[in-house]
Structure 1
């Protein structure tokens, strides 16, 4: 992580907006998601600008409990690769264990958008490659960033959400 911070090719005052998705379906998901948001908000180089409501969603993949999902808009002063490292370290902090693809998890943090950047490396794709197909991402993102233009398809989030089946996404009212 240190070498990313000291890269001389990085502008000294990089400030941009980023969108992330949050999800959990193991443990006390509501508590874990709230703690993850708080951790992000207290991380140097990151400022929480907006957070969606939480939504209960059906899991994709093997049989497992429903998820709580939401999105957040961040103002960041870090490059995308470092932001990804931060997200992965927060997942680990809250007990994320990577076993099965699309398996149950305590915390999932996905980097969706980084301003209007299009990036495709072996480690990171921005915009997130499956975000436009996922109601559990688009519904909460449309709540807080409806006019953000997805840079690959050049459509707003509020336009994209109209093209997905949202029947398995419902506003979470708490237990």
Structure 2
């Protein structure tokens, strides 16, 4: 796929590439401030495959019910896990970092989302409990598109056909671009 980090031919048939978004806006007892939490999580996700690219961590404004600024980043992960298995591993990692269920879009120690998958579209389960790839809201979130565009600008959204660079430009352009 154009714009994605290359996988070795030998492993290509066994693995998939994932674009993972990470965020934090609460301190962690061991890792400290949210930026350090996100960097530590980027390291932890290597347990699920090979991290091929990682963005820098950026500071962003809170959204929804959240009260504190967020630290956000993205990474490209090559993994042999299928999307539901990777999601389960990401949710387990969130819990290990201290995430507790609570208010949607509230403050959290760690949030990990599968944004894109090299297999295209994935849908499972009901609308609230299921997994949807691409992530349903990623096109409208500069805090996802900015870091993602920095590491995989040519990766195309399988729904719109637009690259991450194009989606980011549409979202952040000072003037509305034609659709």
TM-score (norm 1): 0.83
In structure 2, the partner of 1:23 is 23
Deviations along 1:116-150, one digit per CA (max 9) or x if unpaired, are 42112222000000000100000000000000011
In structure 1, the partner of 2:155 is 148
Contact persistence 2:66–2:105 (CA under 8 A): no
Contact persistence 2:57–2:73 (CA under 8 A): yes
In structure 1, the partner of 2:87 is 84
Contact persistence 1:138–1:157 (CA under 8 A): yes
What CA distance in whole angstroms lies between the structure 1 residues aligned with 2:60 and 2:68? Answer: 9
Alignment of 1:80-159 (within 5 A): 80-122=83-125, 123-159=130-166
Matched, 1:161 2:142: no
Residue 170 of structure 2: SS of its match in structure 1? coil
Residue 33 of structure 1: SS of its match in structure 2? helix
Query: By how many angstroms is 1:165 displaced?
Result: 3.6
TM-score (norm 2): 0.81
Deviations along 1:18-66, one digit per CA (max 9) or x if unpaired, are 100000000021221122111111x1x5110000011111111025111
What CA distance in whole angstroms lies between the structure 1 residues aligned with 2:173 and 2:116? Answer: 21
Contact persistence 1:23–1:33 (CA under 8 A): yes
Aligned pairs, how many?
Answer: 153
Structure 1 unmatched ranges of 5 or more: 1-12, 168-175
In structure 2, the partner of 1:171 is none
Contact persistence 1:14–1:78 (CA under 8 A): no
Relative to 1, partners in 2 of residues 1:114 and 1:99: Cα closer, same or farther, differing over 3 Å?
Answer: same
Q: Which moved more, 1:124-133 or 1:158-167?
A: 158-167
Residue 35 of structure 1: SS of its match in structure 2? helix
Residue 75 of structure 1: SS of its match in structure 2? strand
Structure 2 unmatched ranges of 5 or more: 1-12, 28-32, 175-179
**Superposed structure 1 runs of 4+ greater than 6 Å apart:** none
State the Cα RMSD in Å.
1.5
